[in-house]
């Protein structure tokens, strides 16, 4: 029983108890009217009881108003949740279409065969991996990624901006189960995308806003660390970013 139900129950019991007590207390103190008493004298004895009945009716009215307010609030919450879900899945579909439309040539020749969709994202990660493994010693991993990003910005820029705004929309929302939605995002990401995201968070492009959201919702939890350019690269970010916080 909720607080409103307990409030009405207690109020009703108080009114009934008062009625019972007054039923015996009034004749005890004032005596029953004699036959010679005026009819008004008899009726006046129960004026207090009438007031109590009025109080009971008032309690019922208050409860009805409170219940109505609660129902309206609940209905508004359900409406807001439905609006958010509609927005979220529309944005997710746009992001997935963006991935589907990615197309990159296998060689520098524009007429060469191409990789499309998730295969293109996997191909891009393999290209990044080869750049990281072949980098010269003065060059850091973040700097090597930045060079690669600048060449592939026409693909990686829109991809990561779309992913960031999708995560930020969930993070800024008032929904209670935010991780349910970020888990849906993660479920649609390939391991190549997770690895690209990892190196993006290492670089200046993602180590601020993107890294904060990725760590908060453990988006890299299922990333295959052995597929990184070097398994030791996993030390580039705090373990809290890619480990399951629920353990």
Write the pLDDT tens digit of every residue in 217-238: 999 999 999 999 999 999 999 9
pLDDT at 247: 47
Q: Summarize the confidence of residues 193-214 as an average pLDDT.
A: 94
Domain ranges of the chain: 3-77, 101-242
For 36, the enclosing helix (H) or strand (E) is none
Share of the chain above pLDDT 70, in %: 68
Please tell me which residue, 167 or 75, carries the higher pLDDT value. Answer: 167
The better pLDDT of the pair 44, 145 is held by 145
pLDDT tens digit sequence for 91-132: 999 999 999 999 999 988 878 899 999 999 999 999 999 999
Cα separation, 65 vs 86, in Å, equals 32
* CA dihedral sign, ordered 118, 89, 181, 146: positive
Q: Which residues pair with 104 in a beta bridge?
A: 115
Q: Is the pLDDT of residue 90 over 60?
A: yes
Which pLDDT does position 110 carry in this prediction? 77
- The neighbouring-strand residues paired with 114 are 105
Over residues 23-27, mean pLDDT: 56
User: Looking at residue 207, what is its pLDDT?
Assistant: 86
Tell me the Ramachandran region of residue 218: left when phi exceeds 0, alpha when psi lies from -120 to 50, beta otherwise. Answer: left
Question: Three-state DSSP class for 31?
Answer: coil
Q: What is the pTM of this model?
A: 0.71
* Dist. CA 89–CA 101, nearest whole Å: 18
Taking the C-alpha atoms of residue 104 and residue 112, their distance in angstroms, rounded to an integer, is 9
């Amino acid at each position: 029983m909720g607080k409103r139900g307990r409030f009405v129950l207690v109020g009703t019991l108080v009114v009934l108890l008062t009625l019972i007590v007054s039923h015996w207390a009034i004749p005890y103190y004032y005596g029953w009217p004699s036959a010679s008493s005026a009819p008004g004298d008899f009726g006046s004895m129960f004026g207090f009881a009438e007031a109590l009945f009025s109080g009971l009716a008032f309690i019922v009215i208050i409860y009805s108003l409170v219940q109505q307010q609660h129902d309206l609030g609940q209905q508004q919450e359900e409406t807001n949740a439905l609006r958010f879900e509609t927005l979220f899945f529309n944005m997710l579909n746009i992001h997935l279409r963006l991935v589907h439309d990615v197309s990159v040539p296998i060689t520098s020749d524009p007429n060469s065969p191409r990789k499309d969709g998730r295969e293109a994202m996997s191909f891009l990660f393999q290209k990044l991996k080869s750049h990281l493994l072949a980098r010269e010693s003065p060059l850091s991993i973040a700097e090597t990624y930045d060079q690669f990003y600048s060449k592939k910005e026409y693909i990686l820029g829109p991809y990561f901006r779309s992913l960031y705004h999708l995560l930020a929309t969930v993070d800024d929302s008032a929904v209670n189960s935010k991780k349910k939605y970020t888990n849906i995002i993660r479920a649609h990401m390939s391991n190549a995308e997770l690895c690209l995201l990892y190196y993006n968070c290492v670089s200046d492009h993602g180590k601020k806003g993107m890294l904060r959201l990725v760590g908060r919702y453990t988006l890299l939890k299922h990333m295959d660390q052995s597929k990184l350019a070097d398994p030791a690269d996993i030390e580039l970010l705090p373990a809290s970013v890619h480990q399951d916080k629920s353990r």
